[in-house]
Structure 1
Amino acid sequence: MLTMEEFLMIRDLYNQGLNISQIAQITGFDRKTVRKYLSARTPPSPQPRTGTSSKLDPFKEYIQQRISDHPLSAARIYREIREQGFTGKYTIVKDYIRTIRPSKSVPAVFRYETEPGVQAQVDWAECGHLDVDGQRRKLYCFSMILGHSRMRYMVFTLSTNVYTLIQCHIDAFEYFGGYTEEILYDNIKTVILKRAIRAGDHQWNPKFGDFFQHHGFIPRLCRPYCPQTKGKIENSIGYMKRDFLLGGTFSSLDDMNRQLLQWCNRVNAEPHGTTHEIPFDRLQRENLKSMAGIPAYRLRREERRKISREAYISYLGNRYSVPYRYAGREAILELHDDRMIVRVGTEIICSHTVVPGHARIVREKEHFSGLLAEAMRCNAQSGAASRPLFRMIEPEVEHRPLSVYEGLSGEVRQ
């Protein structure tokens, strides 16, 4: 049963225009629960039990004995007492068994505390949707936390591809002032393509492999089906959703990230719930690897495109011109921040500044210089060399002497 605060929070999110699925994703409640409390005016309060007898009373002694002998399921007990004459519902049986079943012991979990500078944890989280240039896009949050100090870094993105992942790492390293010896990841394709029994046989994503080899840190993978392996990062993401994202108001993705960075600075300056120390203070003892002696990593993205017959390529919904003589060929786009270099084979044919928005056309006049003259020349040559589809010929006329026609008219010339 929800508390009054949770009930009012659901109502507030609904009044902000969020639908049931979005509210369920943000709050963690089931959609049925959200729908139930949206239709209710106040949270239902537990009703006092009356002293009336229950249909289950004659069978309680039998149920207690069966449960004490064997850990039978409520469905099994229900079938047995129905054969003995019970006419009530299964829910009554299940609720009663829940009160008498011996509680199971929860296995203790050993909290693993990392030494300074040893390990960080990384994860992605889905955070609803965002309207960008009239399109509905998924919103993700990249999160990295240092295992010893509990320093957090988070940023919202619209993609989880390997290029975004690498850029988020670079930004996190700059925020922390360095990086740990190893970083823990889920089994995601942007990090690893094929997991092997031995770590040395893993098949890493080649682009991410180039990045971690450049910096010299060791990627580690979570054990399958063991969420405790990266509990620090999962707790951090859940806390962010509750303490920052829930009920927040933002004007754009940039505004969201600006406010999120302020939030990270605030929580990193407050005592952590586990260590009871301020993460910024513990950061001084992290002994991170410095980035000072490492050349800046050049994040180079490459994407393949087919040049259209009109001599344009498409990227992120916008069209960019290329020299017309390359129309119809395959090009490689080299993307560096907001710059795009277009290459055909080993030849660089042009470059552009990537523009924001959607359905925009970036046209360079020199890319089409000489195209009209060449087209006219081709048309003239084509017209001169073309053959007609058909030809007309004059009918053949038979030439006869005049006497033939005079004989036909019946006249005789004297």
Structure 2
Amino acid sequence: MLKKEDLFLIRDLSSQNLSISEIARQTGFDRKTVRKYLQLKTLPEPQKRPGRKSKLDPYKPYMLKKLEEGSYTTARLYREIKEMGFDGGMTIVKDFVREVRPQQGVPAVFRYETKPGVQAQVDWAEMGTVEVDGKIKKLFCFNMILGYSRMKYVEFTLGIDTSTLIQCHLNAFEYFGGFTQEILYDNMKQVVIKRALKSSDSEWNSQFEDFFKCFGFIPRLCRPYRPQTKGKIENTVGYVKRDFFLGRRFTSLEDLNAQVHRWLERVNSTVHGTTYQIPLERFKEEKLIPLDQVPPYKVVHKETRKVSRDCYISFLGNKYSVPYRFAGRTAELQIFEGIFEVYVDYEKVCEHEILSGNCRVSRKKEHFQGLLSEILKENSKCKKELQIPLKFSGPEVEKRSLDIYETFSDGDFE
């Protein structure tokens, strides 16, 4: 298409009675072009060029659908469309997500950075519900992040009691190979019963107090209504929900934790958005207190179960046998270090290793020894009790007074 000034020039030359050939010679345009524009009665409207096709176009409907479902991270969307065949870069994905995602204002805060090995932050998150042993239970997520390196540890649980909290700490310490000088908490009841103005003067949960005194780290409590005090863990909780858990499928609690451990391997090896460094590399500078400086710490978690008539109890989707004489009784499970012990009326009756997965059965033959003979004995006893002796009886004879016979003998009858 010619520019407006070229069109005006052609018309001006035409008004001077110049031929089309002369106009073409002076302007350098083809004669057909000159003739075409001289025949136009109105100025042509500029036409928009069709947009260039993008590698991302085939994947935009999928990304829009996912963003309608929840606030997925750009990194996760990028990973998913890469698996679908996208061979472009991250930048084009970021630009598209930034364009379609609503912008929200964020108040400015002062970022507090900690030195290596000084502080970790801990928090719980509720993740909805799951069905376990035929019952609907709440699912929780334990999160710990090292303040300096941003190394993360995540574990899913079915409870938030103090025993579970301590066990999650031990698992995190094992994952990191040590622990920090202090750990920052929200004002959760599993940690503190009554908060004082000075954190060290607070009334601690006695079970948790025994734990942190044994290890020697200092528990810190964040200031009320100041979520930015523990902003690192707050961001971690949100990131776990958006980048890992949202839309996740799993078959059991063990399967979910196995998946999140694989996810941790990736995110701890990826450049962090704040430090612009890889947490695993920065972790080398952490000066954690080694675990071998602390004596072994045993955490016992207790739960109750009813022994079924077929002599089994259920735990996390699996069945475990119990000696048959306790069928129908209520038992207490004491769970620790991958096993649980079964107690009935304070008597330890058996123990089992906790099975992975679900719908599995742990059966011990000795729990059923003597059961068949006892059943046969009971059946025999019942048969004897049901046997009723038969009695034969002769014809019934009517009993009459002797006065009747005297009447007959005296002839006193008509």
Match of 2:169 in 1: 169
Match of 1:296 in 2: 296
Report deviation, 1:217: 1.1
Match of 1:12 in 2: 62
Say which SS state the counterpart of residue 398 (structure 1) adopts.
coil
Q: Distance between the aligned counterparts of 1:317 and 1:246, measured in 2? A: 23
Q: Distance between the aligned counterparts of 1:109 and 1:234, measured in 2? A: 14
Q: Distance between the aligned counterparts of 2:152 and 2:59, measured in 1? A: 27
Q: Distance between the aligned counterparts of 2:136 and 2:330, measured in 1? A: 30
Match of 1:96 in 2: none
Instruction: Indicate whether 1:404 and 2:375 are aligned.
Output: no
Match of 1:154 in 2: 153
Identity of aligned residues (%): 46
Q: Distance between the aligned counterparts of 1:276 and 1:401, measured in 2? A: 125
Q: Distance between the aligned counterparts of 2:133 and 2:307, measured in 1? A: 25
Say which SS state the counterpart of residue 355 (structure 2) adopts.
coil
Q: Distance between the aligned counterparts of 1:290 and 1:404, measured in 2? A: 117
Contact 1:310 1:327 in 2 (8 A): yes
Q: Distance between the aligned counterparts of 1:346 and 1:130, measured in 2? A: 31
Q: Distance between the aligned counterparts of 2:227 and 2:289, measured in 1? A: 27
Report deviation, 1:325: 2.9
Report deviation, 1:183: 0.5
Q: Distance between the aligned counterparts of 2:169 and 2:258, measured in 1? A: 20
Q: Distance between the aligned counterparts of 1:175 and 1:339, measured in 2? A: 20
Contact 1:154 1:264 in 2 (8 A): no
Report deviation, 1:225: 0.8
The one-character-per-residue Cα deviations of 1:180-238 (angstroms, maximum 9, x if unpaired) are 11101122333334434554554444443333232111222221111111112223344
Q: Distance between the aligned counterparts of 1:240 and 1:363, measured in 2? A: 38
Match of 1:256 in 2: 259
| Cα distance, 1:200–1:329 mapped onto 2, change above 3 Å | farther
Instruction: Indicate whether 1:121 and 2:167 are aligned.
Output: no
Q: Distance between the aligned counterparts of 1:244 and 1:384, measured in 2? A: 66
What pairs up with 1:370-389 in 2 under 5 angstroms? 370-375=370-375, 377=377
What pairs up with 1:139-288 in 2 under 5 angstroms? 140-147=140-147, 149-162=148-161, 163-200=163-200, 202-239=202-239, 253=256, 256-267=259-270, 270=271, 272-288=272-288
Q: Distance between the aligned counterparts of 2:332 and 2:135, measured in 1? A: 26
What pairs up with 1:91-102 in 2 under 5 angstroms? none
What is the TM-score when the length of structure 1 is the normalising length?
0.60
Matched AA of 1:190:
Q
Contact 1:313 1:320 in 2 (8 A): yes
| Cα distance, 1:107–1:14 mapped onto 2, change above 3 Å | closer
The one-character-per-residue Cα deviations of 1:250-302 (angstroms, maximum 9, x if unpaired) are 895255224312223312xx3x5544555445434432212122233333322
Q: Distance between the aligned counterparts of 1:287 and 1:173, measured in 2? A: 13
Match of 1:334 in 2: 334
Structure 2 gap segments, 5+ residues each: 1-53, 75-95, 100-105
The one-character-per-residue Cα deviations of 1:311-334 (angstroms, maximum 9, x if unpaired) are 443323444332233345443212
Say which SS state the counterpart of residue 291 (structure 2) adopts.
coil
Contact 2:269 2:279 in 1 (8 A): no
The one-character-per-residue Cα deviations of 1:345-383 (angstroms, maximum 9, x if unpaired) are 443211223335556654434323334444555666678
Q: Distance between the aligned counterparts of 1:304 and 1:247, measured in 2? A: 32
Q: Distance between the aligned counterparts of 1:399 and 1:212, measured in 2? A: 99
Q: Distance between the aligned counterparts of 1:278 and 1:27, measured in 2? A: 18
Highest CA radius of gyration, 1 or 2?
2
CA RMSD of aligned residues (A): 5.0
Q: Distance between the aligned counterparts of 2:219 and 2:407, measured in 1? A: 114
Contact 1:141 1:154 in 2 (8 A): no
Say which SS state the counterpart of residue 340 (structure 1) adopts.
strand
Say which SS state the counterpart of residue 299 (structure 1) adopts.
coil
Q: Distance between the aligned counterparts of 1:244 and 1:382, measured in 2? A: 60
What pairs up with 1:389-400 in 2 under 5 angstroms? 397-399=398-400
Deviates more, 1:212-221 or 1:354-363: 354-363
Contact 2:116 2:149 in 1 (8 A): no
Matched AA of 1:342:
V
Say which SS state the counterpart of residue 213 (structure 1) adopts.
helix
| Cα distance, 1:287–1:197 mapped onto 2, change above 3 Å | same
Contact 2:143 2:152 in 1 (8 A): yes
Match of 2:92 in 1: none
Report deviation, 1:342: 1.1
How many residue pairs align between the two structures? 325
Report deviation, 1:164: 4.2
Say which SS state the counterpart of residue 292 (structure 1) adopts.
helix
Contact 2:181 2:217 in 1 (8 A): yes
Matched AA of 2:259:
M
Matched AA of 1:12:
Y
| Cα distance, 1:403–1:179 mapped onto 2, change above 3 Å | closer
Report deviation, 1:406: 9.0
